[in-house]
Amino acid sequence: MSKVSFLGSGSWGTALAVMLAKNGHDVTLWSAVAAEVKMLSENREHKDRLPGVKLPENVVITDNLEEACNGFDLIVFSVASPYIRETAKRAAAYVPKGQHIVNVAKGIEESTLKTLREIICEEIPEADVSVLSGPSHAEEVSVGMPTTVVVGSDNEDSAAFIQEIFMNDVFRVYTSPDITGIELGGSVKNVIALAAGVSDGLGFGDNTKAALITRGIAEIVRLGTAMGGRIETFSGLSGIGDLIVTCTSNHSRNHNAGYLIGKGKSVKEAMDEVNQVVEGVYSAKAVFELAKKYNVSMPIVEQVNKVLFEGTSATQAIKNLLTREKCNEYPGMGWNND
């Protein structure tokens, strides 16, 4: 069995820590929040995020970052995306050369347009950094509901190593060399999920949501392939799989925030009510800037930005999408008029 440390004890980090402990690994769960450490230590459960899910005895709780970075076979970065750089910068002094790291958060840094793995590699350049992504809500993983994800790595052996640690009879893990595709799929889907939530908040039906999901994956593919991702990845778990679950589930903080915005709440009111980090809000500007940088059309992402940051009403944003210039669904597909 392996020794695994989690940097970040929110719902996702806690759920995965519980699962790996049940896999038989020795697990350390770190948090920078003193109140969270106290709650986890005293109650052996995350009462705010995963009530009723008990931490096994082989999970050690700590607020000591050095202690959480030394002597582990694998370090899991499970802090929310806005805190990835700060955490990596602090951890860098304690992480050994060649350390296996896997990032399980999703997002793009607004100021640099870097993916989260790129940030970790920049701050901890001598580590071996992989990513894990896919349709996987913490609430379901923590109670053993069947789930399937994908690990992306530059190194096949590293991917297989992480696959072996995480995989069990209810948590299936695939491997892939397409880190770019996996990260882009996991990040952009949060922005599309905001749009799907807005649609539900406005009272629209299944037709509208299906359109947003379908045209949303088209936008993800355009950007992802322009940035070097493989088109196959976007039809897989970290692409259409993650998009579907995030656009349709009541567990999705991005969908729920969008729903509240569709109901008339301000962005701040929606985020306060969700009371968790809404990754799509933090990634939306970055995704739109990447679209401009790579000269790809992303009208849904554009309208989400207008609603979030420019005061456009949700109703107007939907109208803007529907009344754009007429076009072919797949412009590269020619007509056979012979």
Contact 107, 279 (CB under 8 A): yes
Q: SS3 of 154, please?
A: coil
Name the token pair of 328. Answer: 């072919």
User: How would you class 178 by CB atoms within 10 Å of its CB: exposed for 0-12, middle for 13-18, buried for 19 or more?
Assistant: buried
**DSSP code of 82?**
G
- Please tell me which residue in 22, 38, 89, 189 is annotated as part of the active site: 189
Distance CA 165, CA 130 (A): 13
| Per-position b or e across 284-298, b if 16+ CB within 10 A of its CB | bbbbbebbeeeebeb
Distance CA 105, CA 283 (A): 12
Q: Is 292 a catalytic residue?
A: no
Active site residues: 189
